[in-house]
Structure 1
Amino acid sequence: MTQTLPREALFAAEQTITDNLEDLLAVLPPDIVEALEEFNQPEHRSKLLEIVLDLGRRPEARFEDREVYLAEREVSREDIAYVAERIGRFGDDNRAGIERTLHRISAIRSRSGDIVGLTCRIGRAVYGTVGIIRDLIESGESILLLGRPGVGKTTMLRETARVLADDLRKRVVIVDTSNEIAGDGDIPHPAIGRARRMQVPTPTLQHAVMIEAVENHMPEVIVIDEIGTELEAAAARTIAERGVQLIGTAHGNTLENIMMNPTLSDLIGGIQSVTLSDEEARRRGTQKSILERKAPPTFGVLVEIQSRNRVAVHRDVAASVDAILRGLPLRVEIRERNPDGTVSVHYEELQGMERHSDRLLPPGPRRTYQRGTAPEESRAVRPVPVRSLSPAVSASAPEPSRKTLRVFPFGVSRNRLEQVISQLMVPAVLVRSLGDADAVITLKNYYRKRPQMLRDAESRGIPVYVLRSNTAVQMANLFRSLFPERFVAEAETHGNGDDLDGGLGSVPEDQVAAAMYEAEAAIHDVLGGASRVELRPQVSWIRRLQHQLAERYNLGSRSRGREPYRRVEIYRED
């Protein structure tokens, strides 16, 4: 449903474009330059995106709406060498440039390291392009820009830096990894205005330069292109927490893309699995295992660049993420630049499958639900194996009080399972056919091999629970996680919490949340370079949750000390 609100046009900004195309033509072979002269008219020149030179193929010019061959002959090694000799040095990311221009030349190399292809991307400074989001920039909020390659993210980022530095007189520092924002060479391109530029020696050090910019140069604004690693996401959070406005871009087209990306989800607050109490689940009208945002987002505003003249704005990223996770309608602000230069605003309410993604698969063991369905009608779109067996992070639990759970064992000792079920007195029975099963239990080694039986179970939507080993303890832990209400009630009746994982249900919720927050902070410290971090003492089942959280980030963990001072230590595995 789309609703157009009566609102006056926002901005009128005349766009001015400068592309320094002559500097790029000066490094190309003469016959290719001569062929390009045919397209030197303004209407063609403004649509030229890149020139492609691939060894053994005809040279090609790519425009916004077509591709054109520039010669009948094939590109030779001499042509590629001709260009390479006249441009800057290629970095670790196989990108080079032309000094004091915004053009980017990217190399394709053979297995022996020889250059066999060149992509000469036209870099343009477009003055006035940020008029469509200028009020957001002036608000001081950190802004994340998303969009497909070539839609103009870097161009908008460059103009944003200039507006903040020149028009708003702010201290702006650009962390320029591939010299795309401010151009090649030691002297930055005039398109960034008074903004200062810090170059990055190698792409793997981008996060370190981001922190260095804050610590050494007292910026009010940091501008960064292509946040793509976990360390860069952590550095972005550090910058935002220090009160510095952050303007950046990331890989992805929509908010959902960032939510599904385990590396970048921290930019929008991160996603975690939470198990609600029975009372809270009934109050919300949801299942017990749900997905929630685990922290405030690094970026308060997110802009999806859909085209050069249309953007979708999430003014409150936290509220948008929460709405998506809860399956609620998502109200998005749409801005469009009109032919006369003004910007009109209206709102679109998106439901269910209208967005680009119909499911979320955040990191860690959890069950995910189709967007747009009410929680009580949610259905699993992908059965996720249980790597850990604690009730707090288990996959969706059936409701044992309503029916008996029919279990199909695959590669697991059937006799041992029957003994555990009998001893625990849980409402579960073993079946001999996959077609009769409500759930499948298997071992980690079997699940890794992905046999046909397990693939059939997943295709039918039957949950697959994975045990690390074929022991009675592992099986008992699984059934305790599947039937938590039964064991909580038993503990309350007999007052024997020690036999139930350290007193399940006896620890206040705020203490559990504090313990998990401490574990998350320790994980970020270890990912940031710390060798190991020791947590405060906890009861056994909370320690298990902390171990599982560390495992989700591919970190090692172990318990140290003796009760009641036994605690978890998190470290990076070699």
Structure 2
Amino acid sequence: MQITDDLNRLLEIVPDQIRRPLLQHQQRNNLIEIVMDLGRLPEARFPSHAEYLGEIPISRKDLNYSIERVGDFSSDNRAGIEQTLHRISAIRNRTGEVIGLTCRVGRAVFGTIGMIRELVETGRSILMLGRPGVGKTTALREIARVLADDLEKRVVIIDSSNEIAGDGDVPHPAIGRARRMQVARPEQQHQVMIEAVENHMPEVIVIDEIGTELEALAARTIAERGVQLVGTAHGNQMENLVKNPTLSDLIGGIQAVTLGDDEARRRGSQKTVLERKAPPTFEIAVEMLERQRWVVHEQVADTVDALLRGQKPNPQVRTVDENGEVKITREYNGTPRLGGGVSQNAGSLLRQSGEVLTSRSGFRDSGYIVPLPNTGQVNQPVEFSEAKSFEELLDESFSGNGMFSNGNSGRWEAQATGPNGEDLPLHIYPYAIPRHQMEQVISTLGLPVVLTKDIDSADVVLALRTHTRKQSKLRHIAKARHVPIHVIKNSGLPQIAKALRRLLDMEDPNTPEFADLNLFAASASEDEMEALEEARLAVEQIVIPKGQPVELSPRSP
């Protein structure tokens, strides 16, 4: 990473008794800020410690010396040095006179967003969270530069205190080609945000320190117009925003919902519960715990819903090692974060089945779900007879007892060759079967199969039985090209999965069939998988064997 700080420009505004020790200090490159309070010793703060600079207390003359060399202080008592990123903040007494200064070092760190660069390039809105001083503004500045220079987008920065692009009318080079709109008064930031969208046609809006309800509403308005948002807010974790009524709209807003008696009894909860009110303004949230350790919530909506249900989300943890490589792990814990667990009727479902629920919540974590069969086993290869006629192959395909069946003969090597001795992946020509459903099965199960639109390059034809019997033309074409036809009864996902596994000889006849629930989950989220597993348990263990109805757990759409 390349770091630019213009530290000498900051040292020029402080008195000599402060400047001299810092010029010779071994850790001057790690300096965070200089504190000058009237009647106290000047103090230099570093990441690991703070130390006094000299033995002479600060006088009014020293404060005036520094004030004369910086720009004008705005209504939020902030000023800067032109063409730099440094920030000077003032402390005033009751009469408005300055009695203290905090001179904070501003640094442009190029490459600081390497941990989340691919998320920035997706075009989704990103919210940066973290305590003061962790580097939110530095990351925001680099994101603006990358979007403007590398991705060539129209970027507008809403700079309320000139901290992102520096003081003065000419912005600092650290923001690249991005444009900067200054804010005359901090309380007018929400108006400038809307003005930027209406007047300057940006593709990306960058906002630092969203802190008021009006700014949160303006951010939602901008996001609804299709503009990518990148902003920061104070708060260490997502829980802080959930509990903050002023900023909760950034993550969808929280509302209290009153349940009926039956619904509350079914959920095993109080009659009044909290739910997310709307889609989040920011789709991605990044918790900057440390400078080299960030927690990424890729789906803010799922995280908020999990927190409101008393569950612990499973975000990514991204760190940078000594070699500069990004490592991504998952911070998973099966226990609820805010209390709660399996709903009352879910627990009764397991008790009716004669099982005891473990301490972890959820059907998938209870240890009660029967595991799906292992489909990755390799069967022994057998010889494929080229002397077989096409009609025999076709009849065997229709009957399901030929070379593609699960019998002890007629198998081909799953990991080496296909039905005609070809190398895998197996090329299949689908006929009258929705292509997207086949792609979903192949992707979910990770099968070595390629779909082709050219029957000449196909190893086998997969078709619906009803269509194949009526299409003599398909039979003649397949016969002329010596391509076998495999048929299925319907185009449902289980039928397609079973046929592909049979073609690849990946089925075990001694293992009972279980539907791979991933096939039915559009996004394969934990909530969808949990609901499908609960429904399967109810059908297989209570409804069918006992003939009793089961009330499933209520779930949000």
User: TM-score scaled to structure 1, two decimals?
Assistant: 0.59
Matched, 1:226 2:209: yes
Write the distance in 1 (CA, Å) between the matches of 2:210 and 2:234.
Answer: 7
Q: What do residues 357-402 of structure 1 show as CA deviations (whole Å, max 9, x unaligned)?
A: xxxxxxxxxxxxx44555659xxxxxxxxxxxxxxxxxxxxxxxxx
Compute the displacement of 1:209 (Å).
0.2
Matching residue's letter, 2:327: S
Write the distance in 1 (CA, Å) between the matches of 2:333 and 2:209.
Answer: 27
| Structure 1 equivalent of residue 184 of structure 2 | 201
Matched, 1:247 2:230: yes
Write the distance in 1 (CA, Å) between the matches of 2:336 and 2:159.
Answer: 37
Of 22, 29, 32, the residue aligned with 2:15 is: 29
Write the distance in 1 (CA, Å) between the matches of 2:133 and 2:301.
Answer: 28
Write the distance in 1 (CA, Å) between the matches of 2:229 and 2:192.
Answer: 14
**Equivalent runs, 1:50-69 vs 2, <5 Å:** 50-69=33-52
| Structure 2 equivalent of residue 170 of structure 1 | 153
Write the distance in 1 (CA, Å) between the matches of 2:303 and 2:331.
Answer: 13
Compute the displacement of 1:299 (Å).
0.5
Q: What do residues 516-569 of structure 1 show as CA deviations (whole Å, max 9, x unaligned)?
A: xxxxxxxxxxxxxxxxxxxxxxxxxxxxxxxxxxxxxxxxxxxxxxxxxxxxxx
**What are the ranges of 5 or more consecutive residues in structure 2 without an aligned counterpart?**
346-557
Matching residue's letter, 1:19: D
Matched, 1:135 2:118: yes
Matching residue's letter, 1:51: I
Compute the displacement of 1:274 (Å).
0.8
Matching residue's letter, 2:112: T
Compute the displacement of 1:37 (Å).
1.6
Compute the displacement of 1:287 (Å).
3.3
Write the distance in 1 (CA, Å) between the matches of 2:19 and 2:130.
Answer: 32
2:208 is paired with a residue whose SS is: strand
**Equivalent runs, 1:254-265 vs 2, <5 Å:** 254-265=237-248
Compute the displacement of 1:329 (Å).
2.8
Q: What do residues 238-274 of structure 1 show as CA deviations (whole Å, max 9, x unaligned)?
A: 0000000000001211101011111101111111111
| Structure 2 equivalent of residue 327 of structure 1 | 310
Write the distance in 2 (CA, Å) between the matches of 1:280 and 1:373.
Answer: 16
Matching residue's letter, 1:31: Q
Residues 231 and 21 of structure 1, relative CA distance in 2, 3 Å threshold: same
Write the distance in 1 (CA, Å) between the matches of 2:312 and 2:180.
Answer: 41
Matched, 1:185 2:185: no
**Equivalent runs, 1:246-395 vs 2, <5 Å:** 246-350=229-333, 370-373=338-341
Matching residue's letter, 1:302: A
Residues 290 and 375 of structure 1, relative CA distance in 2, 3 Å threshold: farther
1:226 is paired with a residue whose SS is: coil
- Higher relative CO (Cα under 8 Å, sequence separation at least 6) belongs to 1
| Structure 1 equivalent of residue 63 of structure 2 | 80
Compute the displacement of 1:327 (Å).
1.1
Matched, 1:121 2:107: no
**8 Å Cα contact 1:236-1:246 kept in structure 2:** yes
**8 Å Cα contact 2:89-2:101 kept in structure 1:** yes
Matching residue's letter, 2:224: E
**8 Å Cα contact 1:324-1:371 kept in structure 2:** no
Matching residue's letter, 1:261: N
Q: What do residues 289-321 of structure 1 show as CA deviations (whole Å, max 9, x unaligned)?
A: 211101111000100000000000111111100
1:132 is paired with a residue whose SS is: coil
Compute the displacement of 1:283 (Å).
4.4
**8 Å Cα contact 2:306-2:313 kept in structure 1:** yes
Matching residue's letter, 2:20: E
Matching residue's letter, 2:21: A
| Length, aligned pairs only | 345
Matching residue's letter, 2:326: V
| Structure 1 equivalent of residue 437 of structure 2 | none
| Structure 2 equivalent of residue 146 of structure 1 | 129
**8 Å Cα contact 2:267-2:344 kept in structure 1:** no
Matched, 1:20 2:6: yes
| Structure 2 equivalent of residue 90 of structure 1 | 73
Residues 31 and 266 of structure 1, relative CA distance in 2, 3 Å threshold: same
- Any runs of at least 4 consecutive aligned residues in structure 1 with deviations exceeding 4 A, and if so which? 350-354, 372-377
Of 211, 235, 254, the residue aligned with 2:218 is: 235
Write the distance in 2 (CA, Å) between the matches of 1:25 and 1:372.
Answer: 55
Is the radius of gyration larger for structure 1 or structure 2? Answer: 2
Compute the displacement of 1:167 (Å).
0.3
Write the distance in 1 (CA, Å) between the matches of 2:245 and 2:335.
Answer: 22
Residues 81 and 352 of structure 1, relative CA distance in 2, 3 Å threshold: farther
Write the distance in 2 (CA, Å) between the matches of 1:152 and 1:375.
Answer: 41
Q: What do residues 90-130 of structure 1 show as CA deviations (whole Å, max 9, x unaligned)?
A: 00000000000000000000111110000000000000000
1:319 is paired with a residue whose SS is: helix
* C-alpha RMSD of matched pairs (Å): 1.5
Residues 372 and 34 of structure 1, relative CA distance in 2, 3 Å threshold: farther
Residues 326 and 50 of structure 1, relative CA distance in 2, 3 Å threshold: same
Write the distance in 2 (CA, Å) between the matches of 1:101 and 1:20.
Answer: 7
Write the distance in 2 (CA, Å) between the matches of 1:329 and 1:141.
Answer: 24
Write the distance in 2 (CA, Å) between the matches of 1:73 and 1:374.
Answer: 65
Overall identity of the aligned pairs, in %:
64
**8 Å Cα contact 1:171-1:220 kept in structure 2:** yes
1:273 is paired with a residue whose SS is: strand
Write the distance in 2 (CA, Å) between the matches of 1:199 and 1:155.
Answer: 18
**8 Å Cα contact 2:312-2:336 kept in structure 1:** no
